[in-house]
Homo-oligomer: A and B are copies of this chain.
Amino acid sequence: MAYISAYAPKRATILQVAKDAGVSKTSVSRYLGEGRRLLSEPMQKRIAQSIERLNFKPDRIASSLRGRRTRLIGMVVTDITTPYTVQIMRSIENAFYQRGYTLVVCNTDSDPELEANHLQVLQSYNVEGIILHTSSGLGDTLGSLQRDHAPMVLIDRTIEGAELPCISLDNAQAMALGIEHVRQQGFHHLLYITQPLGGFSSREARARAFDDQLQHQHTLSGEQLELSDENAEATLIEALTRLLEQHHAPCVMCSNAKVALKTLRVLDKIEGIGKTGFITFDEEAWSPLVAGGITTIAQPADQIGERAATTLYRQLHEASPAAQSYSFPATLHIRRSTQTGAGEHTVTRQRASVAQGK
């Protein structure tokens, strides 16, 4: 059960390089870091050669210990399986890579306990900062955080009671964009299907925006459906069937791609595609292809990621950590699924007539 060292031929150390070059450790260390410009030309050359000859690579772990900078950033995410999330990850990883940082990503599968654990582990590696997409709506996270945790930036979801900057979509604007489009297309009733709010600020913001904004609509009525994971299909069948029966010119709006997928499968099953309008949050690669093309409210994932990264980076490097929350506007991708006949909406009976869109 003993541990077998993997590094058989041990890497060269700074000391060996120093000896080889006939200089001091300090000079080598200087050469590696900021202080290089302090060194004389010949010295630089000798060190460079030794480094080359010994194939020396600095050990960041040792460097971190003494230097107090790990150049590690932690990211905790609820669901690495969501393309939107992945896109944010990607842009954050990229932004930090440029700046010499390495991103450590942990997946919580929406489990607050796992989230707490991951947060602990990240701290134990002395990550310099953390980007968190929290899976605990009600601030459980705060308790599990060390009093003196690394600087942190939230994405999408705020944490109650914490004064942490949050970068997210402008949910009110996004909802307005969607509703306005639906209205313009002449739909008369809008069913908003969302995952259970569960205390998540983003879900709540959208739901609230939906209610608020429908108050001011005259030609458009609306209702919400909270779709939990259990019984999702049965619930949807019931709700969508009723929608089709009871409403003239109905439209469905989904709170994200996951919900959209479930909804579309049920719509497909009950032959409801084309009989109702359809719009959803999240633009994905398959959006143009499903049901002849679905209209989407796209989240600017790259911008959110980029901004989260720079916000965090500033916290690390600026004296006054004037951390700012920020929300970005959504974009509308209009496709067949919200297209209606000229002005007047037509309930289409045959699927063929809603056939393939662009």
Contacts and interface: CB of A to CB of B under 8 A. Distances in A.
A28 interface: no
A202 B5 CA distance: 32
A77 to B, nearest CB: 11
A151 B350 CA distance: 59
Given A125-B60, A261-B285, A289-B265, A55 B356 contact: no
B80 A83 contact: no
A62 B126 CA distance: 10
How many of these chains are in the complex?
A: 2
A342 interface: no
**Size bracket, chain A contacts:** 35 or more
A56 B65 CA distance: 17
Contacts of A1: 317
Nearest to A320: B4
Given A81-B86, A81-B87, A352-B350, A59 B124 contact: yes
Given A93-B107, A150-B6, A289-B268, A102 B121 contact: yes
A129 interface: yes
A59 B126 contact: yes
Interface string A112-140: 00000000110111101100000000000
A90 B102 contact: no
B264 A289 contact: yes
B61 A70 contact: yes
Interface in A253-290: 261, 264-265, 268-269, 271, 273, 284-286, 288-290
Interface of A: 1, 3-11, 55, 57-62, 64-65, 68-70, 72, 80-81, 83, 86-87, 89-90, 93-94, 97, 102-107, 120-121, 123-126, 128-129, 146-148, 150-151, 261, 264-265, 268-269, 271, 273, 284-286, 288-291, 315-319, 350-352, 355-358
